[in-house]
Amino acid sequence: MGKREPEIGRIFHALGDPMRRAIVERLRERPHSVSALAGPLKITLTAVGQHLKVLEEAGLVRTEKLGRVRTVRLDAEGFAVLEAWAAEHKGEWARRLDRLGDLLGGE
């Protein structure tokens, strides 16, 4: 339950929340348990769990439960999808500038 293939809409929505971005930043250093994430963020374990669900469904985070501890780490998949989208939409500008000549002459 939870894991889905990363879809750009989910990714943007997931990263649109500052708390979830904070979680991502913490995870860049190293994997954390859910409690370890909750501590400095000053929100409840429950809230963190809800954020993690969103991040996991976006493919940005992967979790694994051993005993009673769930370990959370970043998942490259979602970030790869995001990077691809961003690169394509930014790369568009080169093409757009190429087309500028046409626009100046045409419609």
Partner DNA sequence: TTGATAGTGAAGTGAATGCTTCACTAATGA
Partner DNA sequence: TCATTAGTGAAGCATTCACTTCACTATCAA
Tokens representing residue 72 in the block: 């959370």
**Per-residue DSSP letter, 49:** H
* Dist CA 93 CA 98 (whole Å): 8
* Dist CA 88 CA 107 (whole Å): 25
Could you say whether residue 65 binds DNA (CB under 7 A)?
yes
Could you say whether residue 4 binds a copy of itself (CB under 8 A)?
no
Choose which of 9, 40, 101, 105 interacts with a copy of itself (CB under 8 A): 9
Binding site for a copy of itself (CB under 8 A): 8-9, 12-13, 15-16, 18, 21, 24, 28, 30, 74, 76, 79-80, 82-83, 85-87, 89-90, 92-93, 96, 103
